[in-house]
Each structure stands twice: as C-alpha cells, then as structure tokens.
Structure 1
C-alpha cells in the first residue's frame, strides 16, 4: 500500500490589481485543513477530486494536509502563505519517513507580497526537507494551463502536469493523469523534466485551445507524445499575462524517460510551431460601435449577441464591476440586454427595498478607477437570493476552480424596459449558465448578453449565441498588453 501526502495551493495573481488577496479570500472559496481536504473535495468535480478518486480507487493511503484556493485577484498577502506553509510543512516533517509520494494541486501563477514565485518557493522548501532527511520521494504537481512556470518549479519537482484545454474542461482529468504518473514514479520509473521558456506574453484572448496558436502547438505536442514512448508528457503552458514577474509568459515542459537532448529538440520544434502561428495570439478587438454595426448586419436568427468584455475578465482577476461596455450600451437605447455586475452595495439596497420595489441605483465601477464610472439604473427589483447555485456543466472551467457548487453571495436582479441585470456580492466568472438560470434570468431569450470573460465562457455561452463580438473597453485584463505598466518583463514580447 502506498502513502501519499496531499495539499493544494491555488491562485492566479493579477499584479496590477490594488486589492490584495488575504486569508479571508481563501476561506471564502476553499480552505480545508486535514480530513476536510478530502471530505470537501471528493466528488466535487475539481482537480482535487480527480486525485482523491484515483488514489482511493488504487488503495492508497492519503495524508491530507491543507488545501487552499481563492478567486483570481491581487497579490497574495504573506499571512496566507504562512498559514499554508505552517500546516503543510509541519505535516511533512512529521510524516516524511512514511510517505511514498507527494501530490500538489497548484496553479502556477501565484505571486505574493514578497515572492514572485510562490510555487517555486514551496517546491524548493519541500526538496530541502527531503534532502535533509536523506529521502527520495517523487513530487508531482498539477498546473493550470495559464501557469507562469519558473526553472525553480521544474528543478524542485519530479513531474508537472498541466491542463490541455482552454476553457479548462479537462482539469479533473489532468489530476487523474498526474496521479497515474505518480503511481509510476512510486513504482520506480525515472523521468527528467526539460523546461523551455519563451519571450512571448500572450493575452488570455489569444490562447483558447480551439484557436491558433494553441491549436497547432497542442496538436504537435500530442503527436510527439504518441510517436515517442519515452515521453511521459509535454506541457504547453500559455502563461498568465497579468503577472508582472520575470517568468511571465508562454513556456513548454517535457517529462522524458529517455535522452534529454531529444526532449530538448522536441521543445525546439514546438517553439517553431508557436512562432509560425503567433499572429493569431494577439487578436484585435472591436469598439462597441463596430460590434453593434456588425451585429445589426447579421441575418435574423435565434439566440443572443454576445458582447465579450475581456478587459473585465473576472476569471482573470478583475473586479467584475466594469461599466465601460454596459453604460454606453444602455445609452444607445437598445433593449433586451442581460448583464451581471459585482456590486455588494447595490445588492443591499435592493434587498432593503424588497422584491417588486421600484429603485434607482448607482451601479458598478466602485472597486478602483480602472473600470469605468458608476452608472445610474432605475428599475424594479425582480428577485433576491443567497446567490448559491449548482453548475450545469460539471466539467466546466469554473469547476476546475471551485468544484460544482458556487456562491455569488447575496444577489439581486433588477430590470427595466432595456435590461435585466444580476447584481452579486462576490464576483463570479461567467463560465456556467446556472449563474443566471438560478436567479430567474434567461440569457437565451436576450438580444444582447454582456460577458465578462476572455475564453472561459465559451463552453457555456457559445451554444446559445447567434454571434459574439469581442469589445475593447477599459479594464486591467485588457488584451492590449502594452497599456499595462510592466516593470519586470525584460526581453519579453507583448505584441506583434
């Protein structure tokens, strides 16, 4: 019987957001210590569930330590890192001599107040503990496709295994695949990891797995794996563009049982494929006027027009309260609009007024000065709820972050002759239609749906849409990366 130490530390950090991510943000999303890390994850469709289900089916003894996750947001406060490290390393010191492996659910783009490479820091400390004790124990980590991978992460792990789909419909599956690799490593298989950073930083809108350049690069990686049995796996990591760190950007990683030189040559090939398709990784977006003109020219058809607002991509960390699209759209006088805004103050006003009340609100753009200005909206309070819902897509991008149960906090729906607006107390990425359906909102029946996302919405929203248009607006998840005040991306390329 094999014994595996298990932990999770998951956060995608946006360096330019002013609000830090404290311990409370983790406790609001996922904070499980000891046996709770099993009880609260097993069966929830997350990567943690993928590992735990595989481990238990193989008869392993799982020693849970701590599992923490928070929604994408600003730099993580050191207190949260200290809490994780205190619990995890106490368990590692205590259990090191009896474990056969270590399994970690990570993101790969986590930045704290004092560290640009939290995952590399944790992995280095794990290796130091094992070496001090004279132990050789495989360390396997699951990474998000948007990981900014450092050499320290590679040097101090045995095998890293990244998602292959964006949206992340394969997150749980990736953890299963990683657990199988861990089984092989615990049984004596040896692998070496080869890492290849690149100088390219691509916006989230440019790294969907069904579009170039990701489509060609991922296909080439799968061909190499199929042709060479020595290759345990190739990770194609798109990177997370909003982390202002030296390791930001697109990278490759190959785990091989064979010659390192051959693995390195494969990564050279993949860099060439990326460069041949690079132009598609920097997509051009419409102004709102351009998007509406194109929408007006479409033939009649069923389904809404999606107006995609990547600059306020909640899944990328922004506040979810930008008004730079919604305000001008309402000003056109158009109707049939559905939108969602994160605005706890407005929610409380609606709850105080009560369902059926007529109310005038100042909504949106309250977190910072980067996402527009508050707009006035007068309408009727249609609904108020606790904001909890079950995901309709059980393997969705959102499930990779939080499992299959979601909590938007206290929520309210307001409507007038132009629009139906969902107001939430906690920002929630638009990755599942259950978000709106649970609040009595039918996006399928709208003329226009404002979607605060880059790619992660596609599995949920594309099937109901007549067409979609990306709109260039104000916000810190802009696809035009040259607008952002980077300081640490020496030698990196942000545009064509």
Structure 2
C-alpha cells in the first residue's frame, strides 16, 4: 500500500551577531534559495533543485509515496528570524499537516541553525509542534545542513536527523534522498531506531570546514563509511559558530538497530573530530596584504587568484556590502580584478538611472554599521546593466534561478564590481557573467563567500587566499561577544574556554 507522507521545509541559518534580521519578505523572495512555495508547487519547483526537498521528492516518486506537499520556505542567512515570520511559516506548516488527514510519515527539510527573535532553538520548537500534531507513532525525518546546531530537543522530537556531508554543499538533494530513505525504513519497520548523540567541546571556524581538504574530508569519509551492518544513519554536524545560545557547537548523531551499534559509531566519529582539533585552523591575510600577495601570484599565473572575503559572507549572515576588499584593490591599483557581490540597491538604481557608459560618483556599500567599515566614495563607469535574473548552473546552486534585482557592473580603474539589489552568496560563475564579467579572464576575483564558492571556482583558480576585511562573521568565533554558550565550550580549536561569569 502506498505511504502517505507530508513534505515541508523551513530553512534559515542564523548569525545572532549579524546586522539584519530575516523578515517574511526575505522568505517570499528566497535569496539564494527558491522562493516560498505552497501545495503542489513544492513538488513542481523543488523536484530538480539541489535542496533537501528535491531529493525527498525524487525518492518519494521512486518509492510510490502519496506525497502531501505543505509549504517550503528558505531565506539567506542573516540575524534572527523575526517573530512574525517564524510564527506565520510555522503555523502554516502545522495547520497543513493537521489538515492532511492520516499520515504514515513526515519529512521536513530544515537547516538546523535557526534562531528566531523568541525561540533560540527554532528547529527544536518546530519539530516539537510537528510531533504534537501527528502524535507519538508517526515517524518524522529531517534533512539538515552540515552547519546545523543540533539540539537534544530536535533529536527527541524527530525519529531521524540526516546531515549534509559536503561543504560546499553539493549534496543537499542527496541528503534529502537519504533522509527519505531512512523515513521509508522507519515506516516499514514500525519501530524507531536506537540513537546516540554527542556534543563536541569546541567551535570550528567555517573557513576551515571545507570537506574538499583535510581534516574535514577524512572525518566525513569516516562518517559515510560507518553506515551498514545494522548502522542505519550517521551524521556529523560542524555547527554554525555564530549563534549565541547553549546549543551552538558540533554534534554527532547516529541511528542503528540497537544501542550498542549506535553508541559505537558515535564514539568513532567523536574521537576522529577530537583528534583533528589542532588541524582545524588556517592562514588568513589582512586586506592589502592579501591583494599584494594575489598580485604577486597573478604575475605568472595562468588562472585567476581567488580571494575569499570571508567575514562579509552572506552565507553566514553578512549583508554583502562591506568595502574593505574594494579599498585594498583600488589602493593597490589591481589590474583585471573583479569583486562580487556588492549589495547596494541605491547604487544599482543610480547606475540604471544614469545608463550604460555613464560616469557616476557615489558612496558604494558600507552602510550596515560594521565596525571598521564605511561607504567607499568614488567615481565609477557603468559598464553594463542587468535585470538581475540568471540561472546559477554551478554545482552549489545546481541550476537554481536567481533574481538579484536591478544590477550593474561598475568599474573604477581596472577593478570591476558586481552591484546587485538583492543578496545571494557569490558561489557561481554566472553571478559574474550576468553583468558581463568573464571570471576566467580576470587576474583576481574577490568573492564574498567563505567556502561555498569553491564548488564552482576551484577548477579555475590558480590558488585561493582568505582575507579578513571587516564583516559580521569573524574567521575566529573567539572574537565574538558570546554571553549564552554552554559553559566550558572552547571558542575555537585549542582556544579559550567560554566562561559565563566573565562573558561580554
């Protein structure tokens, strides 16, 4: 008999130190995600996209599920989700599940690091409400981001939590498929898995979490290799280290046909992460030093030198408008250099009003109140204009249509800046091409991203440097003014221990 499964999604990664909150309009617009969708549109829009919901739909169709799509919403990382947005989306999900009639299972696509204005553990509170709605016997599965701050409340409300294994996240749809596979197994067995949960004692900077390099690659190879032989599902979550609440930090979650196997798998992963602690760090440059080094390398390079403007990463809560890297490029008279994206609706509007080829003088970016940052004042040439619509075909966005709003390429000297109206992380080469910049033809590319850009830029990069221009997401979590972490949590690998008595 066909299984009736409700499908829903609510994604947000919250930087509690970021300058701008997520409002309902941000979920409606979607940013780097698809826009908010309801009912049948969840299946139609989500089917072929690199998101957890896409993999869940693919599995459901192959398994012959009767899928009951409710709602899917996601907004680009920022500060807290507003109370109104959280409660509105949550209420729609809960009412949709309640109205669905008898269900055999629920699959919900989540991030895992959502903090609302009034709910520190956004996903834990949502999953609790889902559990209250469907009762104790209907299995609930969730697909989650590798950066999820997984809490005991989430593990208690859901029957299985399944996390990404890649960063850049090229396996989002695959993770949704794996979560759906586990839900199908739960519905067939009619009994829950045994589970094991571990919380690691140190925060990990996101710049050094890439699974394309060690030690993260080896950790995730181990995680995947432990499944089988009675171990149903294994996940390690690096966590998102800019969320000021006790659940912030790395976790391990394992499920098996008995507690001995679940605990043994969790022990193996926990020990591997503890052993890797000293290696979870890396080298960074101050802005001008980074540009000077990039220019030195570019003199003999055959491919672009790519700089990660990591501290203004919109994938970690930045507004994508700080100007430190732009100042450094201009100050060093960098040649064949491009920066993206600078999110400044007023500058984009001024470029469109002036027209292609015009010379305009304006104060660009720098308006989010970030310490050490300010607008960049200068005269620019409007090289190209765009309506902002593009399809991001690289492995991270996976063919997602993006709407950046009215956009322009502004040039100052030989530095080109992608100026947009809407925010999305620079993680796809089409996000340069849509305003006429061919990324492979540049000597230096500055991407407002930490790691996700690697999925589409590693192959064209001579090398990658990480720079620390001012921004709301410091490379080291130890520089954030935490007050509510779990006591004893180390603020970075081998770093100082959080003490609530002496917290900022």
Give the direction of change, closer, same or farther, for the CA distance of 1:385–1:294 in structure 2 (3 Å limit).
closer
Report the CA distance between 1:367 and its aligned residue: 2.1
Q: Distance in 1 between matches of 2:295 and 2:117?
A: 47
Question: TM-score, normalised to structure 1's length?
Answer: 0.94
Select the residue among 196, 202, 207 that pairs with 1:205: 207
Report the CA distance between 1:443 and its aligned residue: 1.6
The answer for the alignment partner of 1:311 in structure 2 is: 311
The answer for the alignment partner of 2:156 in structure 1 is: 155
Report the CA distance between 1:297 and its aligned residue: 4.7
Instruction: Please say if residues 195 and 256 of structure 2, whose CA atoms lie closer than 8 Å, have aligned partners that are also in contact.
Output: yes
Report the CA distance between 1:189 and its aligned residue: 5.5
SS in 1 for 2:306: strand
The answer for the alignment partner of 1:129 in structure 2 is: 133
Instruction: Please say if residues 205 and 281 of structure 1, whose CA atoms lie closer than 8 Å, have aligned partners that are also in contact.
Output: no
The answer on 1:456 being equivalent to 2:452 is yes
Report the CA distance between 1:289 and its aligned residue: 4.1
The answer on 1:70 being equivalent to 2:72 is no
Report the CA distance between 1:363 and its aligned residue: 0.6
The answer on 1:327 being equivalent to 2:327 is yes
Query: How big is each residue's C-alpha offset from its partner over 1:87-136, in whole Å with a ceiling of 9 and x where there is no partner?
Result: 2222222335x2111010000000000111111111112222333xxx51
The answer for the alignment partner of 2:56 in structure 1 is: 51
Report the CA distance between 1:168 and its aligned residue: 0.5
The answer for the alignment partner of 1:443 in structure 2 is: 439
Q: Distance in 1 between matches of 2:412 and 2:295?
A: 23
SS in 1 for 2:36: strand
Select the residue among 402, 421, 427 that pairs with 1:425: 421
The answer for the alignment partner of 2:104 in structure 1 is: 100
Query: How big is each residue's C-alpha offset from its partner over 1:460-495, in whole Å with a ceiling of 9 and x where there is no partner?
Result: 112111122111221111112222111111221112
Report the CA distance between 1:12 and its aligned residue: 0.4
SS in 2 for 1:50: helix
Report the CA distance between 1:278 and its aligned residue: 1.1
Q: Aligned-residue CA RMSD in angstroms?
A: 1.7
The answer on 1:344 being equivalent to 2:345 is yes
Query: How big is each residue's C-alpha offset from its partner over 1:199-228, in whole Å with a ceiling of 9 and x where there is no partner?
Result: 111111121112233122212223322xx5
Instruction: Please say if residues 370 and 471 of structure 2, whose CA atoms lie closer than 8 Å, have aligned partners that are also in contact.
Output: no
After TM superposition, the structure 1 stretch with the greater mean CA deviation from structure 2, 2-11 or 50-59, is 50-59
Give the direction of change, closer, same or farther, for the CA distance of 1:321–1:411 in structure 2 (3 Å limit).
same
Runs of 4+ in 1 over 4 A off after TM superposition: none
Instruction: Please say if residues 363 and 374 of structure 1, whose CA atoms lie closer than 8 Å, have aligned partners that are also in contact.
Output: yes
The answer for the alignment partner of 1:116 in structure 2 is: 120
SS in 1 for 2:217: helix
Give the direction of change, closer, same or farther, for the CA distance of 1:314–1:141 in structure 2 (3 Å limit).
same
Give the direction of change, closer, same or farther, for the CA distance of 1:32–1:291 in structure 2 (3 Å limit).
same
Q: Distance in 2 between matches of 1:153 and 1:491?
A: 22
Instruction: Please say if residues 398 and 429 of structure 1, whose CA atoms lie closer than 8 Å, have aligned partners that are also in contact.
Output: no
Instruction: Please say if residues 16 and 80 of structure 2, whose CA atoms lie closer than 8 Å, have aligned partners that are also in contact.
Output: yes
Question: TM-score, normalised to structure 2's length?
Answer: 0.92
The answer for the alignment partner of 2:5 in structure 1 is: 4
The answer on 1:221 being equivalent to 2:223 is yes
Gap runs ≥5 in structure 1: none
SS in 2 for 1:211: coil
Instruction: Please say if residues 50 and 396 of structure 2, whose CA atoms lie closer than 8 Å, have aligned partners that are also in contact.
Output: no
Q: Distance in 1 between matches of 2:490 and 2:214?
A: 17
Q: Distance in 1 between matches of 2:81 and 2:288?
A: 38
The answer on 1:491 being equivalent to 2:478 is no
Q: Distance in 2 between matches of 1:196 and 1:72?
A: 26
The answer for the alignment partner of 2:498 in structure 1 is: none
The answer for the alignment partner of 2:37 in structure 1 is: 32
After TM superposition, the structure 1 stretch with the greater mean CA deviation from structure 2, 205-214 or 171-180, is 205-214
Q: Distance in 1 between matches of 2:273 and 2:279?
A: 10
Instruction: Please say if residues 195 and 263 of structure 2, whose CA atoms lie closer than 8 Å, have aligned partners that are also in contact.
Output: no
Q: Distance in 2 between matches of 1:283 and 1:301?
A: 23
Report the CA distance between 1:293 and its aligned residue: 4.6
Report the CA distance between 1:413 and its aligned residue: 1.0
Report the CA distance between 1:392 and its aligned residue: 2.0
SS in 1 for 2:189: coil
